Structure 1
Amino acid sequence: MPHFTEDWSTGHFPHWQRLFFELLGWDPTAPRRIVEIGVFEGRGTLWFLDHLLRHPESRITCLDTFGGGAEHLPSQTEGLEARFRANVAESGAAAKVEVLKGPSFEGLVRLLARGERADLVYVDGSHEAPDVLADLVLAWRLLPPGGVMLCDDYLWSREEAARVDILGCPKLAIDAFTNIHRRQIDFPLWGYEWQHAFERIG
């Protein structure tokens, strides 16, 4: 059985089911390529493997430092990489998983240099607005028309000295990016406020 110490993903799963299968009409048996930025213990990774990556040639590339962010406690990140890799191994689908350990910037640049493309990029790494914006700008180049960007923690905020630090929140970066690219994206009528999803159009 997979070993998890936190559960920040299960609440998303019914919404993902609706997004990919009801709204976008994805066929889980078609070959797909996913890039996941920020994997933590792999709950989301396992869902993607089970539900979207059933074709033998489907693949997922996971980008993470496994060091956590400013919001994580040392107890949450101790042994994190080992837990993630063990959970992937126990899934029986480890052959479909590539792990690029390090900052997401470096991993995305490597993927672009290799000429990779992705049907889905899941952005759930750093919550700092400058980092989120950099992830979106680079990941956008991986998406062909029809590719989907899914951003977690749209409404997440970090409070410092009893105030919200907007530069420590993903929303500012996501809004800036989607406003700039508004003529190149389509928003499914999803209605899930905690996450933001959009599809690249030609």
Structure 2
Amino acid sequence: MWPWLALLPPAVAVQPSFKELHLELFAKDPDIHHVVQNFSNPYDIRPNFKNYPHSNLLPEFFTEILDILHMEGMPRFIVEVGSLHGHSAIQMATVLDKLQMTEVPILCIDPFTGDTNMWASYQQDQSVGGWVNIIDGRMTVFDQFMANVQFAVNRSVSKHHILPFQATSTVGARWLVQKGFAPDLIFLDSAHELDETYLELSLYFNLLEPGGILFGDDYGWPAVKKDVDRFVEQHNLQFGYENPIDLRIARAQAGATNLIWIMRKAKLAKNATKRAVYRSPDRLLCV
């Protein structure tokens, strides 16, 4: 583990409301000026939910994640690291609304610049170029995200869920530390390059509220699998007695090829000096 990661202080158990997040990020009351609803859309980007082929977070799977956390009164604050066009965030918000959890904020941390594969392949690979749009020398990832989320909010999704935070995962993690905000559910879907996933795991598992869940997709990708396995092994060697990671692997749905990894952080048991490991139902977390 990189030594400088130890500089991050432990997460403080505070879960902000949507309004608190909006005020901290944009210095505006969302009831007066809502950043999503008031998006100006300078390039007139239309909402698009079809072109991007890699959204693997299905409503049924996310519902089961919520079922696991519901027994502990969670989630109260969700962070998504890597949001791209907002498809997964909208899926999560839709499920939350169906469960009458209309006030749970989803903070979407992403620089919205496009990843290595997008920049390297969009001219040669039509499967990539079909969902890449460049205007004024930059990819319009943020504009597409905002157009999609604005459409969803204006149509049906609660306006008290999704907030964009246009920052790198490192900046986002350090901001959460400085504000003392501890998410109890984190969806990590950003870097898929070797060592980048490991770095983000090191940052965001440290921020996770005890008893919370950190999960991500594409465990079948060699770089992701290597970094996830490496992080869990090294963490459990160092902290396994007091704070072990319970890692499970699941399919996005029955018969699916995409694998999702799930980690649950140990939580101090009441009236006990050692930590209790919360294990997730095998009906969900198995391949």
Distance 1:47 1:147 in 2: 20
**Structure 2 unpaired stretches of 5+:** 1-45, 123-128, 134-139, 253-257, 268-287
Alignment of 1:22-41 (within 5 A): 24=68, 26=70, 32-41=76-85
> Measured at CA, do residues 10 and 130 of structure 1 come closer, stay the same or move farther in structure 2, by a change above 3 Å?
closer
CA offsets 1:125-161 (integer angstroms, 9 cap, x no match): 111122111111111122121110102211124xxxx
Alignment partner of 1:91 is 2:152: yes
Alignment partner of 1:101 is 2:166: yes
CA offsets 1:49-69 (integer angstroms, 9 cap, x no match): 111364343111111121221
Instruction: Give the equivalent residue in structure 1 for 2:190.
Output: 125
Distance 1:130 1:188 in 2: 21
Alignment partner of 1:8 is 2:54: yes
TM-score by length of 2: 0.58
Distance 2:180 2:218 in 1: 29
Distance 1:106 1:77 in 2: 25
For the Cα contact (< 8 Å) 1:151–1:196, is it kept in 2?
yes
Distance 2:82 2:259 in 1: 17
Instruction: Give the equivalent residue in structure 2 for 1:164.
Output: none
Q: Quick one: which amino acid aligns to residue 182 of structure 2?
A: R
TM-score by length of 1: 0.80
Alignment of 1:1-202 (within 5 A): 2-4=47-49, 5-10=51-56, 12-21=58-67, 24=68, 26=70, 32-52=76-96, 54-72=100-118, 73-74=121-122, 75=129, 76-78=131-133, 79-92=140-153, 93-157=158-222, 169-182=223-236, 183=240, 184-188=244-248, 190=250, 194-202=259-267
SS of match in other structure, 2:78:
strand
Q: Quick one: which amino acid aligns to residue 195 of structure 1?
A: I
For the Cα contact (< 8 Å) 2:250–2:259, is it kept in 1?
no
For the Cα contact (< 8 Å) 1:187–1:199, is it kept in 2?
yes
Q: Quick one: which amino acid aligns to residue 109 of structure 2?
A: L
Identity among equivalent pairs (%): 25
Distance 1:199 1:63 in 2: 21
SS of match in other structure, 1:52:
helix
> Measured at CA, do residues 149 and 31 of structure 1 come closer, stay the same or move farther in structure 2, by a change above 3 Å?
closer
Q: Quick one: which amino acid aligns to residue 266 of structure 2?
A: I
Distance 2:75 2:216 in 1: 22
Aligned CA RMSD, in angstroms, stands at 2.6
CA offsets 1:79-125 (integer angstroms, 9 cap, x no match): 22111111111222344322111211111111111111111111111
